[in-house]
Structure 1
Amino acid sequence: MSTATLPAGMAPARRFALRGGPAWLLAPAVIFLGFIYVLPLLDLFRVSLTGATLFANFERVFSVPLYWDSLVRTLAIAGWVVVLCALFGYPTALLIHRSRGIAKALLTGAIILPYFVAILIRTYAWMVLLGRNGPINKALLAIGVIDTPIDLLFNRGAVLLGMSAVLMPLMVLTIYSGLSRIDPAVLRAARSAGAGPMAVFWRIFFPLSLPSVGAGCLLVFVSALGFFITPTLLGGPGDHMFAMHITQQADFLGSEGFLQALAVVLLLITLLMVGVAMRFLGLDFIWGGQKLDDNAGRTRPQHEKGQASPVKTALADAIGWPVLRALGALPERVGTWFVGLTGGFVVAALTLPIVVVAIISFSRSSFLTFPPPALSTRWYAQFISDSNWMTAFGTSVGVAIVSALLAVLIGASAAMAIVRSNFRGKSIVMTLLISPIIVPPVVLGLSLYSFVLRLDLIGTVPGVAMAHAIGGIPLVVVIVAAALQAVDQKLELAAAVHGASPLRVFAHVTLPGITPGLAAAGFFAFLHSFDELVLSMFLAGSRMTTLPLRLWADINYQLNPVLAVVSTLEVLLVIAGISFARKTLAGRTQP
């Protein structure tokens, strides 16, 4: 039926359905990311191939023991971090999944809060906790386990602990997202058929949760590959990771070509792992399994189809039945206690360092010690009165505002196109929009340096803000897309039936419905920029000092309670933002 033959009242609705949220709204994101994100990465590949021979720089990367050993060490550390996060993250996600009411809200908040606190802040908290005058050493001395403080810092154990604590929220939230989509009716049917709790877990629940576990492992692994802040601060000389060489070589002008080759190697390993994940988990594992409708069909995670694949079932059988026979005689409460204790330990490990740092910020002592000998606000006064700290704070706020505005304008229009348009390859487009979160920051920072330098924007607010917006856009796209999916399209069509133009429908129906999502997206884009350290290290130059850069410099040269003040103020900022966006976050975490 053509528009001309439609009833009078239906013609505007038909036009709205055709024109509302057209694919051309992707244009700003395509143009911005194409020039600021894709082209610099392609140029990185080009420069890496310059040299005496086409692959001379890569031959050096793999032939020099320093770099080869560092690469192997990085893969090993990332692997161990994945194992630790999976072992402790799964019971924690299960605990949240089984909790109800206020307990569920508190547990979820305890995981979400550290996730949005800057990596530098969380690593600093572990430096305080593991220090010779820290609470762990003092507790061991108090109970008589040790006679003198022991060195808990600057070793492989501290690196694994710090990196696992930083990445644990990513694992827990990813697994919980998958657990919340398992159909409870399937579990009830198994129990009604006579299966016991352990059998239901191994035969039904665990196989259906494997995609989310795999997604969490891959996201943690690719994130760990690009780490250098936490290993630098917590590790020793034998814990240097591959990304450290990129930041160190960046200071030498003669390393061009080889420096880019280092970055390309790290990027290719990351892309290889993501490609493997996409092959087995689908494209949607990156953004948490949101359903996307397109002309080519519907993208749905395997576990949403209500059945596990034969391979997953066989894997669960091979692992599960021997364990099931050994544990079958144990009462169900043993599993409940194990989940509760493990989840409680993880929550304590994530929140305790933040609490300790907050208490130290009120210490009267001139050095880091816990508990403080006396309480005082002297360090808050020193922070406020220090012009260098205030300048860095103001710079970070200015950059973050510009970056958040860019991310919201570009990301919200892209989310509108994704949700309200029908076109082939929607999942591929969504993956490209989200892809900046998987590119190691050191690789992105190095690729952007030459681009921003050619624009003469090194050390300027526009140059740094544009770079920060690359990472803010994925956050905006995911949050706004979720908010748009919650808006009933029938309301939009009803407004169109009564003669409202598409612009008027958007202004009076769609926009009010997604305003909480836009506000939350804007805040988290602001926070992402405010916390960004790695890109700022490459692009700030000598003319600009942001708050993370000032914090990084002080942590490397001196540790005093002023750093705890900065950390505490940032945590308070995160808490305020999460409280402001609680409705949107609650909507995204509902089963």
Structure 2
Amino acid sequence: MRAAATVEAPRRARIDLRDPAWLLAPVLAFFAFFYVVPLADLLHLSVAGDAGLSYYARVFEVPLYRESLVRTFGIAAAVAALCALFGYPTALLIHRARGTWKLVLTAAVVLPYFISVLIRTYSWMVLLGRNGPINKLLLSLGVVDAPLPLIFNRASVLISIGAVLLPLMVLTVGGSLARIDPLVQRAATASGAGPLAVFWRVLFPKTLPGLLAGLLLVFISALGFFITPSLLGGPADQMFAMHITQQADFLASGGFLQSLAAVLLAVTLLVVAVAARFLGLEFIWGGQRAGRPLRDAAPGRLAPWRRAVLGRAADFVGWPLLRALGAVPAWLGALVSGALAAVAFLALLLPIAIAALISFSDSAYMRFPPPAYSLRWYEKFLADPAWMASLGTSVAVGLLAAALSVVLGTAAAFGLVRSSLRGKSAWMTFLVSPLIVPGVVLGLSLYSLFLRADLAGSIFGLAAAHAVGGIPLVLVIVAASLQAVDTRQEQAAAVHGASPLRVFRFVTLPAIRPGVLAASFFAFLHSFDDLVLSMFLSGARMTTLPLRLWGNVNYKLDPVPAVVATFEVGLIVAGLFLARSAWAARQPH
């Protein structure tokens, strides 16, 4: 019996090793060192020493920080509302488009989303400036007699942050629209319902989870903004994350700086926890909540009363409202929806077009329209050793970060999708959680670790930090690609004697190659455009391209950032084209 048990133990070990769940081990080890330990260290430093919890008390007692936190909530909520107002009609327009037109509209949303936040903010500085195109248009039309103060105020902050995060809302709502069975809408129309009634009764209820997820993602993302309010806001528009970056250079701030970051992290996680109560944590990565909605899971004693109230409300309010909506002409609803979508596309694309034109300006500073056109700023950018060194550094860091993200993220995706691991949703939530952690919090938490490990100012250290945010992108994209692969092909190869490695190499990998290529490209862009982590971790020895752009936008305001913006747009267009070509090549003809 003992011999049999001895023989059986290695056999069980071999069977366990064949379960792809072990592929999660590398990414979990990576996250433990570069994500979990730094955040735990940040929380420890915020309460270490004799100060205890006094730093937290100071955050809420000092009016500067307390008011800034409240202001941040207000700005984030306003931005989320703006994105919902303009993003929903935009997603609806894309959903109803067909053929090439749908592809063009989708690209118009996706393209700005992957352009650096700093570059898009720079474009808004040009657009809203005293001598910008909007003021010049209003003056030429005689609407105003003097340029309007469109910059350094709350409106410019809301508009610019809203334009940056608008694609997030459009893509999230678009995912909900894509999952609706078109037969449901046709049945409602055939029953005599008008277009607005169909929207209110069919489309809106089915897309409400996606809309709420978009609102929450935009709100959470806006909580950690500091680049846009720093450049476009006034003294009364300071957001909470700005205090962390402003004090990061002062070591004397000690644990108080960590307490500021901990408060921002706690607020973000609190919002996520409340959202998860109704939507599930799947809203973070665009997944669907399994099982019945929460409100139907446990009706309780109040459910009959609630149903009765809702039924009466439908009889006395709902149905008359639906009949009134049915009487509204369809062209009026289409006109309003189309106008909102047109404004959204204008906000997404106009700053990019303005920046492209300024890049060819002959003027010594930002000026629109350019007095003359030339290539002087392209020549300056390409001939300046400092700019070229920064570009080379960003490319090197981006390539290494993309490699780390793809290797670890693909392995994790395979371990989650193909294994029998329990609690996959919880593991997925943990692995994509860096997407909701504000960049200033992650950067500050890594700063102490990098100092102790002598990683500050190193290419590998910065690439590893960027990979913390790149891995979730790769994981989501590759996991979706894996779920679309027919597992019977993998099983057939395994039955014929192929090892798991050969099955992956010759069957699975070719099937998911378009997703891996797209994930690699997005992971590279995530690193290439990063400014926040670079500010904390680059040190004095290394200057990335976003860091040099940050200094230029703050102190020079010449057209060189417009040159970089034009180069980046070309890079993204080429990357999207290659990704689409690779995907099309895999589709059956």
Q: What TM-score, normalized by structure 2, do the two folds share?
A: 0.91
Q: Distance in 2 between matches of 1:314 and 1:478?
A: 38
Aligned residue for 2:535? 537
Q: Distance in 2 between matches of 1:576 and 1:319?
A: 52
Q: Which moved more, 1:161-170 or 1:321-330?
A: 321-330
The offset of 1:334, in angstroms, is 1.5
Instruction: Report if the CA contact (8 A) 2:194-2:327 is conserved.
Output: no
143, 164, 167: which is aligned to 1:166? 164
Name the CA shift for 1:501/1:290 in 2 (closer, same or farther; >3 Å).
farther
Per-residue CA deviations over 1:479-508 (Å, capped at 9, x if unaligned) read: 111111222111111111222111111111
Instruction: Report if the CA contact (8 A) 2:265-2:441 is conserved.
Output: yes
Matched, 1:393 2:381: no
**Structure 2: segments with no counterpart, 5+ residues:** 1-12, 298-302
Query: What is the letter of the counterpart of residue 142 of structure 1?
Result: S
Name the CA shift for 1:263/1:115 in 2 (closer, same or farther; >3 Å).
same
Matched, 1:89 2:87: yes
Query: What is the letter of the counterpart of residue 375 of structure 1?
Result: Y
Name the CA shift for 1:364/1:322 in 2 (closer, same or farther; >3 Å).
farther
- Count of aligned residue pairs for this structure pair: 562
Partner secondary structure for residue 327 of structure 2: coil
Q: Distance in 1 between matches of 2:67 and 2:437?
A: 22
Per-residue CA deviations over 1:1-59 (Å, capped at 9, x if unaligned) read: xxxxxxxxxxxxxx999876610000011100011101111111111112545311100
Q: Distance in 1 between matches of 2:294 and 2:100?
A: 31
Partner secondary structure for residue 581 of structure 1: helix
Q: Distance in 2 between matches of 1:352 and 1:95?
A: 19
Instruction: Report if the CA contact (8 A) 1:246-1:442 is conserved.
Output: yes
The offset of 1:531, in angstroms, is 0.4
Partner secondary structure for residue 421 of structure 1: coil
Query: What is the letter of the counterpart of residue 573 of structure 2?
Result: I
Aligned residue for 1:425? 423
Aligned residue for 2:485? 487
Aligned residue for 1:348? 346
Instruction: Report if the CA contact (8 A) 1:404-1:523 is conserved.
Output: yes
Name the CA shift for 1:329/1:398 in 2 (closer, same or farther; >3 Å).
same
Aligned residue for 1:212? 210
Aligned residue for 2:153? 155
Q: Distance in 2 between matches of 1:184 and 1:550?
A: 50
Per-residue CA deviations over 1:52-88 (Å, capped at 9, x if unaligned) read: 4531110000000010011111111111111111111
564, 567, 571: which is aligned to 1:566? 564
Q: Distance in 2 between matches of 1:213 and 1:165?
A: 17
Q: Distance in 2 between matches of 1:358 and 1:462?
A: 33
Instruction: Report if the CA contact (8 A) 1:165-1:350 is conserved.
Output: yes
Aligned residue for 1:100? 98
Q: Distance in 2 between matches of 1:351 and 1:319?
A: 41
Instruction: Report if the CA contact (8 A) 2:117-2:164 is conserved.
Output: yes
Instruction: Report if the CA contact (8 A) 1:483-1:584 is conserved.
Output: no
Q: Distance in 2 between matches of 1:267 and 1:522?
A: 28
Aligned residue for 1:130? 128
Per-residue CA deviations over 1:103-147 (Å, capped at 9, x if unaligned) read: 111111100001111111111110011112211111111101122
Aligned residue for 1:294? none
Percent of aligned positions with the same letter in both sequences? 62
Query: What is the letter of the counterpart of residue 203 of structure 2?
Result: F
Instruction: Report if the CA contact (8 A) 1:20-1:420 is conserved.
Output: no
The offset of 1:274, in angstroms, is 0.6
Query: What is the letter of the counterpart of residue 576 of structure 1?
Result: A
Query: What is the letter of the counterpart of residue 253 of structure 1?
Result: L
Instruction: Report if the CA contact (8 A) 1:484-1:514 is conserved.
Output: yes
Q: Which moved more, 1:133-142 or 1:574-583?
A: 574-583
Aligned residue for 2:579? 581
Partner secondary structure for residue 328 of structure 1: helix
Q: Which moved more, 1:359-368 or 1:22-31?
A: 359-368
Name the CA shift for 1:444/1:183 in 2 (closer, same or farther; >3 Å).
same
Aligned residue for 1:58? 56
Query: What is the letter of the counterpart of residue 459 of structure 1?
Result: G
Aligned residue for 2:504? 506
Instruction: Report if the CA contact (8 A) 1:299-1:427 is conserved.
Output: no
Q: How does 1:218-237 map to 2 (within 5 A)?
A: 218-237=216-235
Name the CA shift for 1:258/1:489 in 2 (closer, same or farther; >3 Å).
same
Instruction: Report if the CA contact (8 A) 2:396-2:459 is conserved.
Output: yes
Name the CA shift for 1:127/1:585 in 2 (closer, same or farther; >3 Å).
farther
Query: What is the letter of the counterpart of residue 90 of structure 1?
Result: Y
**Structure 1: segments with no counterpart, 5+ residues:** 1-14, 292-297
Matched, 1:363 2:361: yes
Query: What is the letter of the counterpart of residue 187 of structure 1?
Result: Q
Aligned residue for 1:7? none
Q: Distance in 2 between matches of 1:44 and 1:157?
A: 34
262, 267, 274: which is aligned to 2:272? 274
Per-residue CA deviations over 1:518-556 (Å, capped at 9, x if unaligned) read: 111111111100000000000001111000000001100
Query: What is the letter of the counterpart of residue 53 of structure 2?
Result: F
Query: What is the letter of the counterpart of residue 358 of structure 2?
Result: I
173, 176, 179: which is aligned to 1:178? 176
Q: What TM-score, normalized by structure 1, do the two folds share?
A: 0.91
